[in-house]
């Protein structure tokens, strides 16, 4: 009986070490870039019957919508189009170069006392904010079989 308790405890310890924080919402909203020469873009998922919609070239900036270990859902930064690409073809984007703190006409605000104050530039997360898409109801129509992955 003691051997089975020890084996159970050992299994629990080993499995606890395998947990990870990466999951569907782990990197949502973070900027990424395409790390490979080209990566295939699927609008509806990598198993779509029509094949890939187009390819995204090296260096293209994207926003992570849902991180997953095979294919992740992303949004192309320039167009906002969302779809799926191979996760291994992406890497976190380096911080973008912020504009110099020189005073531009819109950056200076006057206080009541007459002194000027320079407003802060937007952060990279504020510059790349893309709204997450709205998903329709996930319930199947009446009489349809339940969809399972």
What pLDDT, in 10s, does the model give residues 101-113? 554 544 445 555 5
Q: Which two tokens stand for residue 52?
A: 């890939």
CATH number at residue 41: 2.30.30.40
- Indicate the pTM of the whole model: 0.51
pLDDT at residue 117 in the model: 59
DSSP state of 42: B
Question: Domain range for residue 71?
Answer: 21-95
What pLDDT, in 10s, does the model give residues 28-75? 788 999 999 999 999 998 888 898 999 999 999 999 998 888 999 999
- Total of domains in the chain: 1
Q: Which one, of 131, 129, 103, 128, lies nearest residue 117 by Cα?
A: 103
Asked, for residue 29, whether it belongs to a domain, the answer is yes
Asked, for residue 27, whether it belongs to a domain, the answer is yes
**What residues have CB less than 8 Å from 40, skipping those under 6 apart?**
52, 54, 55, 56, 85, 86
With beta carbons less than 8 A apart as the criterion, state whether 44 and 81 touch. Answer: no
Asked, for residue 52, whether it belongs to a domain, the answer is yes
């Amino acid at each position: 009986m003691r051997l089975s308790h020890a084996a159970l405890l050992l299994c629990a310890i080993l499995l606890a070490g395998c947990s990870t924080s990466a999951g569907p919402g782990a990197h949502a909203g973070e900027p990424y870039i395409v790390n490979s020469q080209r990566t295939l873009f699927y609008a509806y998922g990598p198993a779509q019957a029509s094949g890939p919609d187009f390819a995204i070239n090296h260096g293209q900036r994207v926003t992570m919508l849902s991180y997953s270990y095979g294919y992740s859902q992303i949004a192309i930064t320039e167009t906002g189009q969302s779809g799926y690409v191979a996760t291994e073809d992406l890497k976190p984007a380096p911080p973008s170069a912020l504009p110099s703190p020189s005073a531009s006409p819109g950056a200076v605000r006057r206080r009541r006392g007459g002194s000027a104050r320079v407003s802060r530039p937007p952060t990279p997360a504020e510059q790349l904010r893309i709204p997450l898409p709205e998903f329709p109801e996930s319930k199947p129509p009446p009489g349809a079989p339940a969809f399972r992955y």
